[in-house]
Amino acid sequence: MSELKVAVYGVGGVGGYFGAVLARAGNPVSLIARGAHLQAIREKGLRVQTPKEEFTITPAAASDNPSDIGRVDIVLVGVKAWQVPDAAKAMHPLVKPNTRVVPLQNGVEAVDDLTEVLGGEHVLGGLCRIIASIAGPGVIKIGGMEPIVVLGELDGSELAGNARALLEAFRAAGVNVKATPDIQAALWEKLLFITAVSGVGAVSRANVGEVRQSPPTRALLQQVMEEVAAVARQRSVRLADDIVTRTMVFIDTMPKEGTASMQRDVADGRPSELEAIIGSVVRFGMAAGVPTPATQFIYASLLPQEARARSV
């Protein structure tokens, strides 16, 4: 297998981890970061701490300017959801005719944001499940859940070219990765999960173990998931009939101390992905004529805090 040139645009927990494992497997990976995080990566490399191991990679290049990186085969988009439109405009220097750009954000709107700027031929649907954060400048910390990546063409076709090469590169790097013929359903399955876990976790200020153990918050998790499923189906997304049951089973297997990234941002008073996760379900529900009372309650409860964080 030939080398796959990868750029990671946004080296937070998600982009940092997946870029690091691809680099460790021998792929030339360049990192686009900023501030003290970028400086630490340039000086000492990017360090990854997981429950099983710790390792450091030296990127092929590290910069805050995509023009310093040049054209690549794959762009992994690791910025927060609300930053995707601006990132798309800035990543043109990375893109050649066969470059594939893979959003790994929470929510379901990043694909459209990237397609609008770069064209659908460049966008490969993607999602991940991972507990990851920046532990300090140049350091990524991974929680106890096994990281998973799902890739899929927007038109349902089989992966080919650089998309197929990325799947194989992830496998060679030891990542649990799979291809799906219905990436929209996969994205909505994740939205159903993350809306419930991050929303209920944020309003209750509790970790996943506390949320699932308390009967009222467990019921709230289920109600939110039922609402997201109803919105998805009204939008002709093909979700499995047992998706809520299966997702609750998955939540019951998560590390009890786990929290969602949106929840951590809310708790720390930082701008969060509230609009991309909770707000999107409310907007889509209103447009589809599907009631979402529990999700609307969570959105309304967190909106003043979000406005305050963004006014600083």
What pLDDT sits at residue 143? 87
Assigned fold of 184-311: N-(1-d-carboxylethyl)-l-norvaline Dehydrogenase; domain 2 (1.10.1040)
Distance CA 51, CA 140 (A): 12
pLDDT tens over the chain, length 312 residues: 468 999 999 999 999 999 999 999 999 999 999 999 999 999 999 999 999 999 999 999 999 999 999 999 999 999 999 999 999 999 999 999 999 999 999 999 999 999 999 999 999 999 999 989 999 999 999 988 899 999 999 999 999 999 999 999 999 999 999 999 999 999 999 999 999 999 999 999 999 999 999 999 999 999 999 999 999 999 999 999 999 999 999 999 998 998 999 999 999 999 999 999 999 999 999 999 999 999 999 999 999 999 999 997
Strand order in the sheet with 46-49: 54-57, 46-49, 139-142, 132-136
Distance CA 74, CA 96 (A): 10
Beta strands in the chain (DSSP E): 6-9, 29-32, 46-49, 54-57, 61-63, 72-77, 95-103, 125-129, 132-136, 139-142, 148-152, 176-179
**Is residue 152 within 8 Å of residue 179, measured between CB atoms?**
yes
**Is residue 162 within 8 Å of residue 126, measured between CB atoms?**
no
What pLDDT sits at residue 2? 64
CA 186 to chain centre: 12
- Tell me if the domain spanning 6-180 has CATH number 3.40.50.720: yes
HSE-up of residue 75 (Cα within 13 Å, Cβ side)? 30
- At 311 the three-state DSSP class reads helix
Amino acid found at 252: D
- Consecutive H or E run containing 289: none
CA distances for 2 relative to 69, 122, 158, angstroms: 19, 20, 20
What pLDDT sits at residue 303? 97
**Cβ neighbours of residue 187 under 8 Å, at least 6 residues apart?**
108, 111, 125, 127
Instruction: List the structure tokens of 194.
Output: 């993350």
The DSSP line for 6-65 is EEEES-SHHHHHHHHHHHHTT--EEEE--HHHHHHHHHH-EEEE-SS-EEEE--SEEES-
Predicted structure pTM score: 0.94
**Is residue 23 within 8 Å of residue 117, measured between CB atoms?**
no
What pLDDT sits at residue 243? 98
Instruction: List the structure tokens of 293.
Output: 């009372």
What pLDDT sits at residue 6? 98
Distance CA 127, CA 66 (A): 23
b/e per residue 64-103 (b: at least 16 CB within 10 A): eebeebebbbbbbbbbbbbbbbebbebbeebbeeebbbbb
Domain boundaries, given as residue ranges, for the chain: 6-180, 184-311
